[in-house]
Chain A
Amino acid sequence: MSIDTERTQSLPITAPPVPPLVRAELPAWAPWGVLIAAFVLVGGLLAATGGFSVAMLVVASAVVYAVATYLLSRVVEGRRKATDRLVTIVVTLAFLIALTPLVSVVITVVGNGLARFDVEFFTSSMRGVIGEGGGGYHAIVGTLTITALAAVMSIPVGLLTAVYLVEYGKGRLARAITFFVDVMTGIPSIVAGLFAFALFALFFGPGVRLGFAGSVALSVLMIPVVVRATEEMLKIVPNELREAAYALGTPKWRTITKVVIPTSIAGIASGITLAIARVIGETAPLLIVAGLTTGLNFNPFEGRMATLPVFAYTSYAAPGVPREPYLDRAWTAALVLIIIVLVLNLVARLIARLFAPKTR
């Protein structure tokens, strides 16, 4: 202020006062400065009062930072800019809050699961094991078998349905299928399990437990996901490609199998991989229809079959004595499951990126 008045006084002619076109702005480093100041202030206060904890520090300094930035901006920049800055902080904080569980889950599962992440876990079943030792080999075999069977059933049905909806479907049937596929996406997994149980109980009597029944339950959950993903991918195949094929005299079904599907195969494959990743971690339906055993069972059409999620659940919920080895195995099973799911997700992204058609 004082500099301004000095300058006007030093000038020979006094200019008429012009209202400022641009309001004052905080310098670019101001938010960072406030953030560091908030951290130091809160840290100092907490240390002084003796109630220091990392969680407290982060939460309290975030609040102080938001309030301080708002007040500072309000004084310098005015109400509208201040609100804008406050919302930016709140939205960014919301994102960080949303990431906290992900980080926490990964740290917890890796931290607890590494204890039994050894060769024995991958090579031995739980047959005759009480207490230490044993592993999840039988559960891994079960999970892979049941999921593979579910995929074998779901992929053709899902793919063909998507082809029907995009290439052939018009009218009420197509609209009904679209609507019910959407509705099917929302079927609770436990209901799918009950359905498979009710179906197989008709043929095999009450108390039926089959690996294959688990696959049926999983494919009820998987089909709509495959349909949705494939449909999206088929829709973005440009119509020019189809018309070019028709112009050459290619029949429709050859156009679909030779032009449309190859063009979108990367997206379809990635969608299917994500669908597999989604069902491989399902617990509830398998708990109901596939049951749990301690031994290896390679035959999904006979007898109970252990799976990783159910193995983890029962080991944790109903541990034997002593508890520790059971809990350790539960965490390792969860770790293996997370690794499988993350790898599948990564593979899906890679497929989508590497094999995407060169459009331009």
Chain B
Amino acid sequence: MTTTTEKVTTQALPKPVQQLGDRIFAGTAKAAGVLILVVLAGVAAFLIVQAMPALLASPADLPGGRSLTAYIGPLVFGTVLAAVIALVLATPLAVAVALFVTHYAPRRLAQGLGYLIDLLAAVPSIVYGLWGVAVLAPATLGVSTWLNTYLGWLPFFAGPVSVTGRTMLVVGVTLAVMILPIITAVAREVFFQTPKLHEEAALALGATRWEMIRMAVLPFGRSGIISGAMLGLGRALGETMAVAIILSASGAVTFNLISSDNPSTIAGNIALQFPDSTGLAVNTLIASGLVLFVITLLVNAVARFIINRRREFSGAN
């Protein structure tokens, strides 16, 4: 009560007394915030400046000898394909894991198990890359052969099966492992926020635990799941090293996930080509990086938009 009246009076006063220290401190803090905006604008500006020569150059001078879109197009296709595979695999699993941590695991263990999943996010991507090519790729050979034999009529599994296992499918699975903890973290957060009263009301009416989750938790957490998936998608789109190490890319535009003919991804292509590139090739790679930047920016902005809208309407606090 007293605080509110105090606030009103200070607002009514012409100007609060501000020390020099106050002004300096507030100014520095504000400057730091503005610096972040400047950096982000700088990222976009410098990428555009360095990409310009590739945008303006005649198509014949570019790597590949055709137009810029002909160079970047297949890369965009590969990037989206790999990210979508990862998303399709990771999202249901992440929702289930988040449910396990919030509603199924014994209370005492729940936090520790959450840490374990967070550790998945801590493993550096280079390690996942090495693991993917050394363990996962050979391990999926049997699965790929099986898929090709029994589901070969689907375009995804048309074959011929790659003998090294360095396929789009393995890249997708590795990316799924990498984005799983991100989606799980967001989903876990919203599941925790489900109003306790809703849950208890459902249980009191005789619902089983699953019915309670279906009626109270999932509807409440839907936007959380969606935005978590979008964040995961953003991460999967930009993931570099796992793709660069695992994928044997030929630049083909194909939905075939298990053959040795794979489209490369933007990030993977940059990592592979950049160290040995000079001149216009560098500008072209930066132009492709700019495309990636724009795509991830859009995906992330949409995800954040959904999260923020949710926060405003959320009754839980």
Contacts and interface: CB of A to CB of B under 8 A. Distances in A.
B115 A349 contact: yes
A88 interface: yes
Interface string A79-101: 01101100110111011011101
Contacts of B28: 160
Contact of A188 (B97, B213, B296): B296
Interface in A51-67: none
Interface stretch (A8-16, A263-271, A338-346): A338-346
B124 A199 contact: no
Interface string B86-124: 000000111011011100110000000101111110111
Contact of A180 (B26, B40, B105): B40
Contacts of B24: 253
B151 interface: no
Most chain B CB neighbours (cut-off 10 Å) among A164, A180, A274: A164
A35 interface: no
For the residues of B in contact with A, the DSSP-based class is helix
Contact of A112 (B22, B31, B116, B134): B134
A236 to B, nearest CB: 13
Interface size class of B (residues with CB under 8 A): 35 or more
A206 B278 CA distance: 8
B208 A84 contact: yes
B33 interface: yes
B122 A341 contact: yes
Interface string A244-281: 00000001111011000000000000000010011011
Interface stretch (B54-62, B157-165, B239-247): B239-247
A102 B120 contact: yes
Interface in A184-230: 184-192, 194-195, 197-199, 201-202, 206-207, 220, 223-224, 227
Interface string B266-290: 0100110011001100100110010
Interface stretch (B65-73, B255-263, B298-306): B298-306
B215 interface: no
B46 A198 contact: yes
Interface in B119-172: 119-120, 122-131, 133-135
B302 to A, nearest CB: 11
A253 B29 CA distance: 10
Closest 10 CB pairs of A and B: A188-B238, A281-B124, A94-B96, A186-B300, A160-B32, A253-B25, A164-B29, A284-B240, A198-B46, A84-B208
Given A157-B36, A312-B126, 7 more contacts: A156-B32, A179-B301, A281-B127, A284-B244, A284-B267, A316-B130, A341-B123
9 contacts: A160-B33, A164-B32, A182-B304, A188-B293, A189-B238, A253-B22, A309-B126, A342-B119, A345-B118
